[in-house]
Chain A
Amino acid sequence: MRTLAVLALLARRNLWRNHRRTIIMLGAISVGVWAMIFMTALTRGMVNEMIKDGISALPGHVQVHHPAYRDDPNINNLLPASDSDITQTFEGAGFKAWASRIKVPAVIMSERESRGVTLLGIDPARERELSFVSYDDVEGRFLKDAEDSGVVIGKKLADTLDTGVGKRIVLMSQDPDNDIADRGFRVVGVFHANMESFEETYVFAGKATLQKMLRVGDRVTEIVVLGDDYRDVEPVYKKVRDRVNDDVEVSRWFELNTYLGAMLKVMDGFVLIWVIVIFLALSFGLVNTLVMAVFERVREIGLMLALGMKPVNILGQIIIESMLLLIIGLAIGDLLAWATIVPLQSGIDISAVAKGMEMMGVSSILYPQLRLEDVVLANVIVLVLGFLASLSPAWRASRYAPIEAITKVY
């Protein structure tokens, strides 16, 4: 223990002997660590937003469908159980939120234009938690209840259709016998969404109204369940699975949206690669610094060896020196990352490339996400790899023959 204390003292003093070199190296490590954490926080934030926008919006965390529905989203592929049975099983089961819906492709027509849309028959009271539409931020009003005879459409769609609150539109789809099911509706509300494609695609109507129009009685096409955390979807999945028969398909969000699922996985890999690449770029400088530090002190090391210091202590001293350098650099880098990320957490406006981000599924404000795991990962990787990188120069230093080392001329 005493020796360790002495070695640490020696290492610390040696570090400050050539303070310029130490400061430059600290600068490099700090910038590198800052970049590791900052970039990770940005990508994490981006993926998080993507998934939140992409799944918490409408899809929820777990969905239940007729087995054929996902490939063929048709009104014929209804869930076998009636909506009242579903309500009985799901109500009070302790989900954060759940809803049953009718979701079918349809054509919407104004006097002048027609468009293909996704028609959603919902019970607005249930969907508040699940919807990307904030009910109070709607021009006109949102649906009152499942029997509401109006529709709510997106701003972009309202513009292309030349329609607005109070005007009439016609919705066309099919009933289970493939007869055209159509009905006139009054637009009661126009919603805004942070993605233009949502405003173009989704049309909300009362569930009961649609059931009547599509002639499906008390049936629905999907159940959507929201859990507490999208990363921990298994418990919710099991709970849902236990509540339904085997003749339906239960899917987790990453099965419904393979793009987002893949994104989440690829991101973990990306973070690791990024941290390692930065470290490799740093390691050249680190090894260089240590090699120089050893080289300058060859005579001194020779003397210490001649005086009886064990080679292993020389090795330890160099490694402690390197670790000390890394720890200080890490501390500064971590602090720097924290100091830059926290003020940005209220969101970075990237609306300049909004359309491009929409292609990736991100809205135009980026919220960096500082996760403890990522910070720990970066720090641990730097320390472990830093230790490995300093082994070789430290080993070399401990292998000097004392006589040669003492008499070495620069």
Chain B
Amino acid sequence: MNIVLRLAWRNIWRQPRRTCLTTGAMVFSNVLLIFMISLQFAMYRLMIDNSLQAFTGHMQIQAPGYIEDKKMRQTVPDIVPLASALREQLETDTIAARATAFVLASSEDRSYGIALFGVEPQFEAQVSSIPGLIGQGRFLHSGDAPEVVIGSVLARNLRVGLGDELTLLGSGKDGSFAAAVVEIVGIFESGIVDIDRNVAELPLRLFQDIFYMDGSGHEVVVNAPELGEAHELQRRVESLLGTDQDLVVHDWDALQPGLKQAIQADMSSAFFMYAILVILVAFSVLNTQLMSVLERTREFGIVMALGLTPGRMGRLVILETAIMGVMGIVFGALAGGILTSWFSVHGFSIPGMAEMAANFNLPARMHPRVTGVTLFLGPIVVFLFTLLAALYPALRLHWLRPVEAMRAV
């Protein structure tokens, strides 16, 4: 072991209790940071996945302006051939075309305004979780049979079940009156009340007939295998579409602007809390290192008189801090990792959390997820700040005058 390192090691154990307390402060905040950051990242991931999987998907091809106004006539022409051409060119099944309208749905004794989706029955399951959530009956068959699947709350409110008929009233693409009678073949339950209360799906071809769509639709949903690959895929889709067609590709962030902003808002308030924690730890380190330097004024005076430069002594002080910091990282990461892993398997919930979580499409039970980033991001920031805090005591040594220092009481 080199001499400076050995000196530093011995110095920090001169006051074991102080060292333990300072390291303890680091371990405490590191454990907290690891747990919170792991939880946050897991929550954001889930929030994004859950919000996108029902309808939005990773990206959508739309007519310009549709994203803002969602007007019936802002259509993508020949949408079914477009979707199948894309599936062929990109060699993937996770692409499906859709059309949307707002209609009045009437049963025997009830009427409700709902959002009606025309979907491609054989491909919808690749881009949406709804087909997999059918509780009663079945999802749509392909083709243009007059059938519909509706949400469970809507079914209850309309007082209908499988086999019952539903009358749909709305306006077509050209503004003319549109109406149809369809049979309920399936009821889905997504657990998201807004969707279960407001949504119905029927085959796209039937939709195009009812609403005089003339082969057009409103959106082509494209999913990447992983959210992280969405950006790359979007570029390929854009280049395939070319510039001759008047279409745009929107990523999930544009489609659901609230999502990223909710995450940003949450991140900034979390960031404030973490910053405070780190600052308090830095204060603790500053205090400790300043004390340990002041205590050793005489000692420093002597070694300085013997010819040691203030720079080397300063490095010693920084090294002492670094040793404590590394201990903080090691023990913090160890304890934080174990604690967080335990919760990531078993999960936890806070009373009253369920209602709040549901607002963000999150389950009531939270499972933090430990990754390399969540494990070391917090501790490394803490480490850097402790070094920063030790800078002042270390630099102070430059003002030390050997003779006065040796006489200090």
Q: B267-320: which have CB < 8 Å to A?
A: 268-269, 272-273, 276-277, 279-281, 283-284, 286-288, 290-291, 294-295
- What are the residues of chain A within 8 A of B291 when measuring CB–CB? 18, 21, 292
**CB-based contact A162/B71 at 8 Å:** yes
Question: Within 8 Å of chain B (Cβ to Cβ): is A5?
Answer: no
- What are the residues of chain B within 8 A of A71 when measuring CB–CB? 156-157
Q: Of A159, A280, A353, A355, which contacts B28 at CB under 8 A?
A: A280
- What are the residues of chain A within 8 A of B50 when measuring CB–CB? none
Question: Within 8 Å of chain A (Cβ to Cβ): is B102?
Answer: yes
- What are the residues of chain B within 8 A of A357 when measuring CB–CB? 261-262, 265
CB distance from B268 to the nearest CB of A (A): 8
Q: How far is the CA of A298 from the CA of B55 in the complex (A)?
A: 71
CB distance from A183 to the nearest CB of B (A): 14
A20 in contact with B272 given A262-B353, A360-B359 (CB within 8 Å) = no
- In chain B, what residue has the closest Cβ to A119? B113
Question: Within 8 Å of chain B (Cβ to Cβ): is A92?
Answer: no
Question: Within 8 Å of chain B (Cβ to Cβ): is A331?
Answer: no
- In chain B, what residue has the closest Cβ to A196? B258
- What are the residues of chain B within 8 A of A39 when measuring CB–CB? 269, 272-273, 276
Question: Within 8 Å of chain A (Cβ to Cβ): is B259?
Answer: yes
Question: Within 8 Å of chain B (Cβ to Cβ): is A32?
Answer: yes
- What are the residues of chain A within 8 A of B355 when measuring CB–CB? 258-259, 261-262
A288 in contact with B258 given A172-B104, A262-B355, A360-B265 (CB within 8 Å) = no
- What are the residues of chain A within 8 A of B257 when measuring CB–CB? 355-356
Specify the main secondary structure of chain A where it touches its partner.
Answer: helix
Question: Within 8 Å of chain A (Cβ to Cβ): is B138?
Answer: no
A281 in contact with B28 given A116-B115, A178-B106, A288-B284 (CB within 8 Å) = yes
CB distance from A173 to the nearest CB of B (A): 7
**CB-based contact B111/A174 at 8 Å:** yes
CB distance from B273 to the nearest CB of A (A): 7
- What are the residues of chain A within 8 A of B9 when measuring CB–CB? none
**CB-based contact A105/B287 at 8 Å:** no
A112 in contact with B73 given A31-B283, A291-B18, A359-B259 (CB within 8 Å) = yes
CB distance from B111 to the nearest CB of A (A): 4
Q: How far is the CA of A25 from the CA of B265 in the complex (A)?
A: 32
Q: How many residues from B make CB contacts under 8 Å with A? A: 74
Specify the main secondary structure of chain B where it touches its partner.
Answer: helix
A107 in contact with B71 given A31-B279, A32-B276, A263-B356 (CB within 8 Å) = no
Q: How far is the CA of A356 from the CA of B258 in the complex (A)?
A: 4
**CB-based contact A284/B175 at 8 Å:** no
Q: Of B71, B114, B280, B290, which contacts A116 at CB under 8 A?
A: B114
**CB-based contact A358/B258 at 8 Å:** yes
Question: Within 8 Å of chain B (Cβ to Cβ): is A287?
Answer: yes
Question: Within 8 Å of chain B (Cβ to Cβ): is A403?
Answer: no
Question: Within 8 Å of chain A (Cβ to Cβ): is B181?
Answer: no
A266 in contact with B350 given A27-B283, A31-B276 (CB within 8 Å) = yes
- In chain B, what residue has the closest Cβ to A360? B262
CB distance from B343 to the nearest CB of A (A): 16
Question: Within 8 Å of chain A (Cβ to Cβ): is B170?
Answer: yes
Question: Within 8 Å of chain A (Cβ to Cβ): is B331?
Answer: no
CB distance from A264 to the nearest CB of B (A): 9
Q: B218-270: which have CB < 8 Å to A?
A: 257-266, 268-269
**CB-based contact B359/A359 at 8 Å:** yes
CB distance from A79 to the nearest CB of B (A): 19
Q: How far is the CA of A20 from the CA of B295 in the complex (A)?
A: 13
Most chain B beta-carbon contacts within 10 A, residue among A73, A352, A355, A410: A355
Chain A, residues 109-143, CB within 8 Å of chain B (1/0): the string is 10111111100000000000000000000000000
How many A-B pairs have beta carbons closer than 8 Å: the answer is 203
- What are the residues of chain B within 8 A of A32 when measuring CB–CB? 276, 280
**CB-based contact A353/B261 at 8 Å:** yes
Question: Within 8 Å of chain B (Cβ to Cβ): is A231?
Answer: no
Most chain B beta-carbon contacts within 10 A, residue among A28, A281, A295: A281
Q: How far is the CA of A27 from the CA of B259 in the complex (A)?
A: 38
A21 in contact with B290 given A74-B110, A178-B109 (CB within 8 Å) = yes
Chain A, residues 173-212, CB within 8 Å of chain B (1/0): the string is 1100010100000000000000000000000000000000
Q: How far is the CA of A261 from the CA of B108 in the complex (A)?
A: 36
Question: Within 8 Å of chain A (Cβ to Cβ): is B358?
Answer: yes
- What are the residues of chain B within 8 A of A288 when measuring CB–CB? 18, 21-22, 284, 287-288
**CB-based contact B280/A31 at 8 Å:** yes
Q: A61-92: which have CB < 8 Å to B?
A: 71-74, 76
A173 in contact with B259 given A35-B276, A266-B356 (CB within 8 Å) = no
Chain A, residues 91-106, CB within 8 Å of chain B (1/0): the string is 0000000000000011
- What are the residues of chain B within 8 A of A312 when measuring CB–CB? none
- What are the residues of chain B within 8 A of A284 when measuring CB–CB? 21-22, 24-25, 28, 284
CB distance from A215 to the nearest CB of B (A): 14
CB distance from A325 to the nearest CB of B (A): 12
- In chain A, what residue has the closest Cβ to B17? A291
- What are the residues of chain A within 8 A of B266 when measuring CB–CB? 356
Question: Within 8 Å of chain B (Cβ to Cβ): is A285?
Answer: yes
Q: Of A20, A173, A277, which contacts B32 at CB under 8 A?
A: A277
- What are the residues of chain A within 8 A of B405 when measuring CB–CB? none
Chain B, residues 351-363, CB within 8 Å of chain A (1/0): the string is 1111110111000
**CB-based contact A25/B261 at 8 Å:** no
Question: Within 8 Å of chain B (Cβ to Cβ): is A251?
Answer: no
Q: Of B112, B157, B169, B353, which contacts A266 at CB under 8 A?
A: B353
Question: Within 8 Å of chain A (Cβ to Cβ): is B171?
Answer: yes
Chain B, residues 309-340, CB within 8 Å of chain A (1/0): the string is 00000000000000000000000000000000
- What are the residues of chain A within 8 A of B358 when measuring CB–CB? 259
Q: A326-366: which have CB < 8 Å to B?
A: 350, 352-361
- In chain A, what residue has the closest Cβ to B257? A355
- What are the residues of chain A within 8 A of B351 when measuring CB–CB? 265
14 residue pairs from A and B, CB less than 8 Å apart: A39-B273, A39-B276, A72-B156, A73-B157, A107-B103, A113-B71, A160-B71, A178-B108, A258-B355, A262-B352, A288-B287, A356-B260, A356-B262, A360-B265
